[in-house]
């Protein structure tokens, strides 16, 4: 049965927990260390912990850090409900003047996206959640991110996709054309319901480690894991397919960032859109990870790209590895999975994006 925590927050371009589960079970033993340098929503990390493995994860995106961090150090249901009740009581006695002023100063999108009282509750939590340092607050923030926008009564916004935040102009045009208005939602009640469900399954006994940084800084962030990582399971940003900072802009806003889509303000790197620089970037990631690896470590990597054929991807991927791990070798043939119904079709019909994903299993044999 699927653990409810895996779906803590819908996320674009993610691999399923069954993908991580298979390789963790085949390539590691309980107690081994597993690393994901592009953590996303923390699937590798959570599945590793559930299977009794030590786990570490990295992501430069604050949204990914918040979600992965919520799965790495999971608070008790009692602690979450108690903190939500505290915030709800505090909000009931909180002056709305500041919140009304802040709402009035935001772009028009927000007034069409959220019912006024719902938005006041979100603004209150945005101010008071210490998600960077407090594990209970981080879990609540992750619950908010998971319900911030969507297409049913379980979500706080006017109708939007669950996995990405559509751009303000597109959203307003869509809502106006379909005469859609935001519905009144009680943020605290929905969060309590979501907490009860997400924490109803098995909870891992181990605690994971998550860092919000560039993947190339893996060894600097986790020096205590030197020569301890048995398995790396990851999926780097696909080449020229999506930009997480733009696509997650509304979730980033809730975490304290700008109230509009931004591009490369956080990562400050355009290597995900330029082919030659992309492979250089991956080589630097492997260099950053290499000191952490055991002599018998393996890499499971899922890649995707737009406008590049499989042989070129495989050749470039292997070249990026060989420069760091000269003895690395592929195990078996790459597994190619066509994306017949792509996620982008849901919100950008007719767009030409990633048409397939490729899974690689590599025995790294890093040099001493």
Same domain, 95 and 172: yes
Same domain, 17 and 133: no
pLDDT at 272: 67
Same domain, 230 and 293: yes
Structural domain contains residue 286:
yes
Same domain, 49 and 191: no
Q: Among residues 198, 222, 244, which one ends one of the domains?
A: 198
Q: Among residues 146, 179, 198, which one ends one of the domains?
A: 198
* Res. 60: pLDDT tops 50: yes
**Alpha carbon distance 50, 45 (integer Å):** 9
How many domains is the chain built from? Answer: 2
CATH of the domain at 314: 3.40.50.150
Same domain, 64 and 11: yes
Q: Among residues 169, 198, 227, which one ends one of the domains?
A: 198
Residues 328-366 pLDDT 10s: 999 999 999 876 554 445 444 444 555 678 999 999 986
Same domain, 147 and 240: no
Same domain, 111 and 29: no
Residues 137-178 pLDDT 10s: 999 999 999 999 999 999 999 999 999 999 999 999 999 999
Structural domain contains residue 154:
yes
307 vs 193, residue with greater confidence: 193
pLDDT at 271: 63
Residues 203-242 pLDDT 10s: 999 999 999 999 999 999 999 999 999 999 999 988 877 7
pLDDT at 350: 47
Give buried/exposed letters for 62-91 (b at 16+ CB in 10 A, else e): bbbbbbbbbbbebbeeebbeebbeebbeeb
Residues 234-279 pLDDT 10s: 999 888 777 788 899 999 999 999 999 998 788 776 666 678 889 9
Structural domain contains residue 203:
no
Same domain, 113 and 144: yes
What are residue 18's DSSP bridge partners? none
- Look up the domain containing 40 and give its range: 4-74+209-363
* Angle at the Cα of 41 from the Cα atoms of 118 and 308, rounded to 5 degrees: 120
Residues 89-120 pLDDT 10s: 999 999 999 999 999 999 999 999 999 999 99
Same domain, 192 and 217: no
Per-residue confidence band for 287, with pLDDT thresholds at 50, 70 and 90: very high
**pTM score, two decimals?**
0.93
What are residue 34's DSSP bridge partners? 55, 231
Based on C-alpha coordinates, what's the Rg of the chain? Answer: 21
pLDDT at 269: 67
Structural domain contains residue 261:
yes
């Amino acid at each position: 049965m699927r653990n409810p925590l895996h779906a803590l927050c819908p996320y674009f371009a993610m691999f399923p927990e069954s993908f991580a589960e298979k390789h963790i079970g085949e390539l590691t033993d309980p107690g081994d260390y597993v690393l994901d340098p592009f953590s996303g929503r923390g699937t590798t990390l959570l599945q590793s912990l559930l299977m009794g493995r030590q786990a570490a994860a990295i992501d430069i995106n604050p949204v990914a850090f918040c979600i992965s961090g919520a799965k790495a150090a999971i608070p008790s249901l009692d602690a979450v409900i108690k903190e939500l009740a505290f915030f709800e009581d505090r909000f009931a006695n909180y002056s709305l003047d500041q919140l009304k002023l802040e709402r009035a100063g935001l772009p028009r999108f927000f007034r069409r996206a959220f019912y006024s009282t719902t938005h006041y509750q979100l603004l209150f939590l945005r101010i008071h959640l210490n998600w960077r340092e407090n594990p209970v607050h981080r879990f609540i923030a992750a619950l908010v991110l998971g319900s911030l926008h969507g297409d049913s009564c379980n979500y706080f916004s006017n109708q939007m996709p669950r996995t990405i935040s559509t751009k303000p102009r597109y959203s307003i045009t869509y809502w106006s054309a379909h005469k859609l208005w935001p519905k009144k939602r009680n943020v605290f009640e929905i969060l309590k319901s979501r907490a009860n469900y997400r924490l109803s399954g098995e909870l891992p006994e181990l605690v994971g480690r998550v860092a919000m940084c560039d993947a190339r800084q893996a060894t600097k962030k986790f020096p205590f894991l030197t020569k301890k990582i048995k398995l790396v399971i990851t999926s780097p940003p696909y080449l020229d397919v999506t930009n997480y900072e733009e696509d997650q802009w509304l979730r980033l806003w809730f975490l304290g960032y700008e109230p509009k889509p931004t591009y490369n303000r956080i990562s400050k790197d355009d290597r995900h859109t330029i082919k030659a620089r992309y492979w250089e970037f991956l080589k630097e990631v492997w260099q950053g990870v290499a000191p952490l690896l055991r002599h018998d470590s393996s890499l499971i990597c899922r890649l995707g790209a737009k406008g590049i054929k499989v042989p070129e991807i495989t050749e470039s991927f292997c070249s990026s590895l060989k420069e760091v791990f000269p003895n690395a070798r592929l195990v078996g043939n790459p597994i190619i999975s066509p994306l017949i119904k792509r996620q982008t079709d849901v919100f950008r019909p007719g767009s030409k994006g990633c048409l397939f994903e490729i899974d690689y299993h590599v025995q790294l044999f890093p040099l001493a």
